Structure 1
Amino acid sequence: MRIISFCADSIVDAAEKGFFDWVVKQDADIICLQNLGIAEYKLRDDVYFPREYNPYFFDSADGKSNGVAIYCRQLPKAIMTGLGFMDFDMDGLYIQADFDDISIGSLLAPSVPDNDPKAQIRKNQFFEQFYNHLHKVRNKRRDFVICGNWGIAHKNIDLQDAKSNHGVSGSLNEEQQWMERLFHEEHYADAFRLVNTDADEFSWWPDGEPGKNGWRVDYQIVSERLKPRVEYGAIYKVQQFGKHAPVIMDYDYELPESAF
């Protein structure tokens, strides 16, 4: 099973830069997209609806900013939108495709513009609720892969300039500790780091210049039983489709031919 995750920061701009031309050639089973920047009903061009995939969208409340999507080669049994967090669901943060015994999610965490304290409080509240959600679902008889822009650089190795970014949202101690709790107490894992421990692997450049001030905030987080099934991981940087780069992960797992 191959899953590609990409935070587009405008799917229209990414498409114009060749994202869909590239991604349909990658033989992915699932494509998770975040921060579409446009409502689904405004996507008129066939490029956004590759015939090889069944696409599902969850638009943000304003219809233009934080929408997420998931493209499935095989039909899922069900699609879930939102997380049941009353204060966050209408932000278009999460969509999930359920198959027989595995669920794949596309996540966009709340952002904190200009280190705004109120926005940081909102982000922290979201992650506390999300932690409780992940604690509950780990007891279900299914596996989980949650892909997307988590808005957190887990460790200093995930920051190109950790010193300059000290105290910036996404690299705060409480945020990194939250992720540590998720991994050590709930036994989830950062799939990419299970197969790649290099120090120069970044997926986001806030200034839009690869090679400058890089962060790794785009993850595929897997539940415990999937840890030994992670085979390959890469961040695709040959072409630039936006400020983020696609994350490609291969798993020793085969989705069913059809859910029906």
Structure 2
Amino acid sequence: MRVISFNANGIRSAARKGFFDWLSEQNADFVCIQETKAQADQLTDPEFCPAGYTCQYVSAEKKGYSGVAIYARRSPDAIITQLGLPEFDAEGRYCAFEYPDLMVASLYLPSGSAGDHRQESKDRFLAAYLPILESYLQKQHKPLILCGDWNIAHKEIDLKNWKSNQKNSGFLPHERAWLDELFDRLGFVDAHRLVAPGEAVYTWWSNRANAWENNVGWRIDYQIITPDLADRVERATVYRDMKFSDHAPLIIDYRS
């Protein structure tokens, strides 16, 4: 089973850069998109729902902002488009496909880099979302793959210039501690690190100072899974041969 997670920074922009041509060759079972930046009436071209997939877009109320999507080979039994958090549901930050034996979700966490007001929003999300994940573990008995742009680099290995970013959103101590709690206390697993524990690999690059060309990046895109999927993670790849966005697609293959 192949699962791709990708922050498109505008799905229409990524399409113009060849994303869907590339995707047609990937044989993906699930594709989770973040930051679609589009409304339903802007996605009527068949290109935005590739042949053979069930597609669901969740748009933000604010035009040109946020938004997530999932494409799936298997038609889901249920589609969930809200977390029950009005502030963030209005921003189109969550979509999940539910099956009898699996849940796959596309998640776009707020960024705090635009200023204190956005960091405060991000912190509210972190505070509200952890109990939701804890409740899922307590009440659900099916595996979960949470694909997304988490906007947090977890460890020093996860960004090139970690020393100079310790006071910047995305690498703040309390954000990193939040991921510690997610992994260490709740038991969720960073699927990429299972197969590449010591690899300095990134998924996002600033548009400044030739960061992409010099590979001065951050690893902030993850597939975070319930522990019952850990032994099924086979390989992880970050695709950089073509540039569709300021993020690169994260591809993880799971054993059947």
User: TM-score if structure 1 supplies the norm length?
Assistant: 0.94
- Partner residue of 2:235? 232
- Partner residue of 1:81? 81
In the alignment, the residues of structure 2 paired with residue 113 and residue 175 of structure 1 have an alpha-carbon distance, to the nearest angstrom, of 13
In the alignment, the residues of structure 1 paired with residue 155 and residue 39 of structure 2 have an alpha-carbon distance, to the nearest angstrom, of 34
- Partner residue of 2:225? 222
- Partner residue of 1:30? 30
- Partner residue of 2:69? 69
- Shift in Å, 1:120: 1.0
Worse overlay, 194-203 or 68-77: 194-203
Q: How many residues align?
A: 252
Stretches of structure 2 that go unaligned for 5 or more consecutive residues are: none
Alignment of 1:9-20 (within 5 A): 9-20=9-20
- Partner residue of 2:133? 134
Q: 1:16 to 1:66 in 2, by over 3 A?
A: same
Per-residue CA distance 1:218-244 (angstroms, 9 max, x = gap):
000001111111111111111110100
Per-residue CA distance 1:121-148 (angstroms, 9 max, x = gap):
2111101111100100012111100001
Alignment of 1:39-50 (within 5 A): 39-50=39-50
SS of the aligned residue for 2:217 comes to coil
Q: Is the 8 A contact 2:37 2:59 kept in 1?
A: no
2:250 to 241, 247, 251: 247
In the alignment, the residues of structure 2 paired with residue 168 and residue 55 of structure 1 have an alpha-carbon distance, to the nearest angstrom, of 35
- Partner residue of 1:258? none
In the alignment, the residues of structure 2 paired with residue 121 and residue 247 of structure 1 have an alpha-carbon distance, to the nearest angstrom, of 28
Runs of 4 or more off by more than 2 Å in structure 1?
197-200
- The CA RMSD over aligned residues, in Å, is 1.2
Stretches of structure 1 that go unaligned for 5 or more consecutive residues are: 254-260
- Partner residue of 1:155? 155
Q: Give the counterpart letter for 1:201 in structure 2.
A: V
User: TM-score if structure 2 supplies the norm length?
Assistant: 0.95
Alignment of 1:75-154 (within 5 A): 75-114=75-114, 116-139=115-138, 140-154=140-154
SS of the aligned residue for 2:241 comes to coil
Q: Give the counterpart letter for 1:235 in structure 2.
A: V
Q: Is the 8 A contact 1:40 1:57 kept in 2?
A: yes
- Shift in Å, 1:213: 3.0
Per-residue CA distance 1:89-118 (angstroms, 9 max, x = gap):
11100000001121100000011233x122
